[in-house]
Amino acid sequence: MEPTQSIAEREWWAQRWIDVLESFGWRRRLERARNYVREGRVLNLAFQGAKVKAQVQGTADEPYNVSLGLDAFTEEQWSYVVEELSQRAIYSAKLLAGEMPQSIEDAFTASGLSLFPFSKFDIHSDCDCPDPVNPCKHIGAVYYLLGDAFSQDPFILFELRGRTKQQIIDALRQLRTVSESEGSLEAQPSLEVSDRFPNLRANFWNYDHQLDPSLVVIAPPPTSETVLDLLGPLPLDAAATTGSFDPQRVQDTLRQVYQRVNLQSLMAAMMSREAE
């Protein structure tokens, strides 16, 4: 099984996986394992629920069998995580687009958890080779190849923690549906109140006076993300990107425009408030 990406091309969450593993003091052993990946010695890699199964060709005639897994979160722990994910639309949007939000670890940390292995004891691996040291080269090769798999599908990392892509998406949609329906009920208080108090004036819920300026807070957005980050790269085919047209340059230009508009609108709002 050939690696699908070079290390320099890995997505940030895939590189984070490798960095975490190397932080456990396995750098030298993983460097030797990386050669196994380059030589195509990982013959197959399969995901069976929260477990990873692989066959790695070593120096023996028969390939070695490798299994790997992480500590899965409980139902209650996942409920906390999903609730945190649902609090910000950017999380849902990026996950549904197949991307891993840059700050997604915050949703797990807020629940007292860690998406990536916190220590080497969070990873449970086994190989039937004679090497008594864990990780051996064969396990290390699977570690590296998992980084490439994460780049292709970040939901694999969630699956190793006990939740499939569909389970997470369904849970997020359910929470958002409940939130929207509760918001809809709160937006129509006059229906219930008018039934109980029929003598209220028709304009009871209208407020025509000037708001107290102290109630209006003007502040920059909490993050630098724009709609461009939600939509992702421009959906252009190869034919449209030939010649002098550079889609990345267009994307960067649009991002600068968004940032400039955001700054100007903030300044306009502050000037308008000062003029009142």
Tell me 74's DSSP state: P
Q: Does this model's pTM top 0.75?
A: no
Give the mean pLDDT of 105-130. 89
Residue 125 tokens read as 């691996």
More confident residue, 171 or 275: 171
Give the mean pLDDT of 53-66. 94
Residue 184 has pLDDT above 80, yes or no: no
Residue 32 tokens read as 């030797």
The span from the CA of 8 to the CA of 15, in Å, is 9
DSSP codes of every residue in 164-204: -HHHHHHHHHHHHHHHHHHHHHHT-HHHHHHHH-TTS-TTT
Residue 87, pLDDT score = 81
More confident residue, 242 or 28: 28
Q: Residue 94's CB: how many other CB atoms inside 10 A?
A: 20
The span from the CA of 263 to the CA of 168, in Å, is 36
Q: Report the length, in residues, of the chain.
A: 276
pLDDT tens by residue, 32-52: 888 899 999 999 999 887 889
Residue 119 has pLDDT above 70, yes or no: yes
pLDDT tens by residue, 133-159: 899 999 999 998 998 888 888 788 889
The ranges assigned to domains in the chain are 10-169, 214-276
Residue 258, pLDDT score = 75
Please say whether the beta carbons of 146 and 1 come within 8 A. Answer: no
